[in-house]
């Protein structure tokens, strides 16, 4: 059984969400994100730079959420939620996976880190990172002009992008700048709840993903409120 080390509001949500879509049994261990734990000898033995998530599959351990997504798809996905390897469709799938992590999440992560670690935040830094994030949002908005999901059909690329949209909504205002296609895309996850709630979670697809997304967003918002009250979670 896969074991996922999870911390509130981190990229571990991607991995948990994918496993739920695929119907895989998983064990989730929620850990402290406080630096005292993350930089302990115990945790550094699992992640060399003290980040989250970490995933174990029997005696194999790995880090980096994007790599976990690909590992799970290839080992347990049975062809679901990704196009066939060696096709141009799969190349586009990889393109959006890496775009989500290396291009879109990077400035968003800087906004989160800056707002949490600097009081008050430096406005020029936040402005520049929001500008870079908005370029990414515009690219997604353009692609979604003629499709419901980033590849047309729901895939793990949407799961990778989903975490970016959590950060966009909760730490920026860039969705308010128009981007009707991106807003509709995000709204289907966040607001398309009724259809998801009346369907069982079996396999992949828009209805199951909406139910799972609703569950995750409830969990995420509870964790966010708890963090705001206690101010005991630290992000780097």
Establish if 149 belongs to a structural domain. yes
The reply to whether 92 and 184 lie within a common domain is yes
The reply to whether 120 and 51 lie within a common domain is no
Give the chain's domain count.
Answer: 2
The reply to whether 94 and 136 lie within a common domain is yes
| Residue 215: per-residue pLDDT | 54
- Each residue's pLDDT, cut to its tens digit, for the chain (236 residues) gives 999 999 887 899 899 989 988 999 999 999 888 889 999 999 999 999 999 999 999 999 999 999 999 999 999 999 999 999 999 999 999 999 999 999 999 999 999 888 777 778 788 888 999 999 999 999 999 999 999 999 999 999 999 999 999 889 888 889 988 899 999 998 877 643 223 222 333 333 444 444 554 555 555 455 545 544 443 333 33
The reply to whether 72 and 92 lie within a common domain is no
Q: Can you give the pTM of this predicted structure?
A: 0.81
| Residue 40: per-residue pLDDT | 95
CATH number, position 126: 1.20.1050.10
The reply to whether 53 and 20 lie within a common domain is yes
The reply to whether 142 and 179 lie within a common domain is yes
Establish if 97 belongs to a structural domain. yes
The reply to whether 184 and 100 lie within a common domain is yes
Q: Tell me the residue range of the domain where 53 lies.
A: 2-76
CATH number, position 16: 3.40.30.10
> pLDDT tens digits for 209-219?
445 545 555 55
Establish if 113 belongs to a structural domain. yes
Establish if 207 belongs to a structural domain. no
Establish if 102 belongs to a structural domain. yes
The reply to whether 28 and 118 lie within a common domain is no
Establish if 166 belongs to a structural domain. yes
Domain boundary residue among 24, 47, 76? 76
The reply to whether 133 and 98 lie within a common domain is yes
| Residue 135: per-residue pLDDT | 97
The reply to whether 35 and 70 lie within a common domain is yes
DSSP secondary structure of the chain:
-EEEEE-TTSTHHHHHHHHHHHT--EEEEE---SHHHHTSHHHHTTSTT--S-EEEETTEEEE-HHHHHHHHHHHH-TTTTSPPTTSHHHHHHHHHHHIIIIIIHHHHHHHHHHHHHSSS--HHHHHHHHHHHHHHHHHHHHHGGG-SBTTBS--HHHHHHHHHHHHHHHH--GGGG--HHHHHHHHHHHT-HHHHHTS---SSSHHHHHHHHHHHHHHHHHHHHHHHHH------
| Residue 166: per-residue pLDDT | 85
The reply to whether 136 and 70 lie within a common domain is no
| Residue 17: per-residue pLDDT | 87
């Amino acid at each position: 059984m896969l074991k996922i080390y999870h911390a509130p509001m981190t990229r571990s949500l991607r991995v948990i969400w994918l496993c739920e879509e695929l119907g895989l049994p998983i064990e989730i261990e929620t850990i402290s994100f406080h630096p005292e734990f993350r930089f302990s000898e115990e945790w550094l033995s699992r992640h060399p730079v003290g980040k989250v998530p970490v995933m174990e599959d029997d005696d194999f351990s790995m880090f980096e959420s994007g790599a976990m997504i690909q590992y799970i798809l290839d080992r347990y996905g049975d062809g679901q939620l990704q196009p066939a390897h060696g096709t141009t469709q799969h190349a586009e799938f990889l393109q959006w996976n890496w775009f989500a992590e290396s291009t879109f999440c990077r400035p968003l992560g800087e906004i989160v880190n800056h707002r949490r670690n600097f009081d008050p935040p430096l406005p020029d830094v936040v402005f520049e990172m929001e500008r870079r994030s908005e370029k990414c949002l515009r690219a997604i908005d353009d692609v979604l002009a003629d499709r419901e999901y980033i590849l047309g059909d729901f895939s793990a690329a949407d799961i990778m992008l989903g975490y970016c949209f959590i950060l966009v909504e909760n730490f920026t205002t860039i969705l308010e700048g128009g981007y009707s296609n991106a807003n509709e895309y995000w709204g289907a996850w966040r607001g398309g709840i009724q259809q998801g709630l009346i369907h069982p979670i079996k396999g992949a697809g828009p209805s199951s993903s909406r139910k799972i997304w609703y569950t995750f967003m409830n969990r995420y918002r509870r964790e966010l409120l708890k963090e705001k009250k206690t101010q005991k979670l630290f992000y780097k």
